Amino acid sequence: MEKNEGLLNKILNGLRDMCYIWAKEMRSTITDEGVLIFFILVPLGYPLLYSWIYNNEVVREVPVAIVDQSHSQTSREFIREVDASPDTKVAYYCNSIEEAKDLIGKQKVHGVLYFPKDFATKLFRSEQAHMSLYCDMSLMLTYKAIYQTAQTVASKINSNIQISKSKDYTNRDDEITTKPLDFVEVPIFNSTGGYGNAIIPGVLILILQQTLMLGIGLGAGTARESNRYKDLVPISRHYIGIFRIVLGKSMCYFMIYSIMAAYITMCVPRFFNYTMLASGIDLVGLMVPFLSSVIFFGMALSCLVRYRENVMLLVIFTSVPLLFMSGISWPQADIPGVWQAISYIFPSTFGIRGFLRISSMGGTLSDIQPEVTALWIQTIVYLFLTCAVYRFQINNTRKHAYDKIENLKKKAIEAKNKNKKTEE
């Protein structure tokens, strides 16, 4: 009976200490400017900035230069069609390729369409007519816009030529001649092919992870610097159990970031009209393990931090590699095995993949089961790692405190001895 009460008491005490640590952590978060910037201001402002940058989504009206030495009806028709296409516009007419080349150097145009002198002659002779397209390859999106437009225009004009040459009677005959096998192109997800829609979901999740890690790291750095022995865990009767420290702190981070995650995953896409197909429950199912794994990951790493500013150096440069490792830009299927393996360490890999699939593809929680499972595994592993690390830290603190007391005792004895000697 007595033992039971003892256990109950212990748990109650633990909970009380946990709440104490939680409150203290909350207070230090709000009073520490550095942590405040990365916990509140950056997650609030950065997504808006990024969305603003990418909000135009697609590349339109890419300027193209024309070198038309054919001066024929067909070449002019081609040029008109290119100008009328949504993705390109005819910006300059040049007399030679050299002249057009200079325009690329001055960034006035991103591609050149060249019609040779014999372009129309060959067409009338029923020979294959060749025209050239020169693309500036420093931007993939402009290259894609120009090339696809040129191809579409060419195939349209080609069909007209085919129709004029064949001996069909009806319009239906013409259709079948030019396209015996019809096909439909269906961009099933991200149907506009928008750049923002493709990249922003990943950036949003990465912002969550990186700011959370920065905040935790900065907080830990401050705690260590303001501590007398440069220890992470202060000496206090509230800080005696591992679980109460770890859970108390993580509860504080989790509370703040639940709000941030809701803002970033639900409000920001709505402000800028991004595709957002995820339902509330699926989002909760993904974000809870994601946030907890990031928190414990950050706490485990925060023990490595000696000075608070070092955290910035460590966390910020990893952002870009982490974004690439998630497979958002370079397809996941083509990432080398080594980097795939390394990417499994970071919660963002699974967070971004999962979020993309439920928000942009309308997947459900069961579609992203592997990712959610991985996040839960990470949560558990990093929780234990954090506990182990904190245990080590607590022992350190005790050792330092013990050394200090021993030192004091030694000094006291020496002083006493000295006193005795002087008395003698």
For residue 45, give Cα distances in angstroms to 38, 63, 98, 123, 180: 10, 33, 46, 58, 54
Confirm if 246 and 383 have CB atoms less than 8 A apart: yes
Reading phi first (left if > 0) and then psi (alpha if -120 to 50, else beta), residue 107 is in: left
Please give the Cα distance from 291 to 245 (Å, whole number). Answer: 18
User: In the complex, what is the shortest distance from the CB of residue 409 to other proteins, in angstroms, rounded to a whole number?
Assistant: 32
The one-letter code for the residue type at 43 is P
CB-wise, 329 or 395, nearer to other proteins? 329
CB-wise, 182 or 423, nearer to other proteins? 182
Burial string for 177-213 (b: 16+ CB within 10 Å, else e) reads ebeeeeeeeeeeebeeebbbbbbbbbbbbbbbbbbbb
User: In the complex, what is the shortest distance from the CB of residue 216 to other proteins, in angstroms, rounded to a whole number?
Assistant: 16
Which positions ≥6 away from 356 have C-beta within 8 Å? 201, 202, 328
User: In the complex, what is the shortest distance from the CB of residue 19 to other proteins, in angstroms, rounded to a whole number?
Assistant: 26
CB-wise, 342 or 401, nearer to other proteins? 342
User: In the complex, what is the shortest distance from the CB of residue 321 to other proteins, in angstroms, rounded to a whole number?
Assistant: 5
User: In the complex, what is the shortest distance from the CB of residue 224 to other proteins, in angstroms, rounded to a whole number?
Assistant: 11
User: In the complex, what is the shortest distance from the CB of residue 244 to other proteins, in angstroms, rounded to a whole number?
Assistant: 26
User: In the complex, what is the shortest distance from the CB of residue 233 to other proteins, in angstroms, rounded to a whole number?
Assistant: 18
Q: Which residue has the tokens 């460590």?
A: 314
Q: Which of 248, 349, 232 is nearest to 25 (CA)?
A: 248
Residue 133, CA atoms < 13 Å, CB-side half-sphere: 19
Residue 60: φ, ψ to 5°: -120, 155
CB-wise, 64 or 246, nearer to other proteins? 64
